[in-house]
Amino acid sequence: MSRTARVGVLVSGRGSNLQTLLDAAADPWFPADITVVVSNVPGAFALERAAAAGVPALTIDHRGRGRAEFEAELLAALSDVDIVCLAGFMRVLTPGFLNAFPNRVLNIHPALLPAFPGLHGPAQALAAGVTQAGATCHLVDAGVDTGPILAQGSVPVLPGDTEESLAARILPLEHRLFPLGLRWLAEGRVTVTDRRAQVALQPGESRWLSFSPPA
């Protein structure tokens, strides 16, 4: 099957969400190819994941240069891609970068947005005393985790949860939602009107997922 979208992935750390995209793209029926991985952190383990999958990978260190110069180098590295995925990329992108990929930058966040944006979503959820936490796959805009939502899912908050235990329960949900959102975007099934995303769902698909804790 011919692929319909070329995808660049920006990373900063371990790259577990990158791995889910690489695994999804290994299926010849998946509608996108991961064609380049870029890290802003030298030595990030995500670069090893890319190399193991045979995907070109490079580092563009944000330190010691201005934001405009950094993003210009990012754009040059991503000049041949159609969609950009942020897989644990710990930098806020400016409108100048985002305008090069209108409604084609995708992120996964470990919280049920619009609640708990920014860093440490699971810790914020615990501090707020909620009974359900979760993850959100969304398009990226100039705000911090404020872009149009494609899909979400929830997990229960259990007695005795810590930030680490709750984050670990959310992570498998992220791994399901991120490839799903990328599939929809690559297949051209996402439209955005007045900051709201609409998805042309096929039978059996849902924009909401939920996990139950193991017995």
What are the residue numbers of the active site?
109
Torsion of CA 47, 52, 57, 59, to 10 degrees: 20
Do residues 152 and 135 touch, judged by C-beta distance below 8 A?
yes
> Alpha helix locations (H) across 79-201?
95-98, 121-128, 163-186
Quote the crossing angle between the two packed helices 163-186 and 16-25, to the nearest 10°. 30
What's the CA gap between 44 and 116, in Å, rounded? 26
Bond prior to 214 in cis (omega within 30° of 0): no
Say which residue the tokens 């889910």 belong to: 20
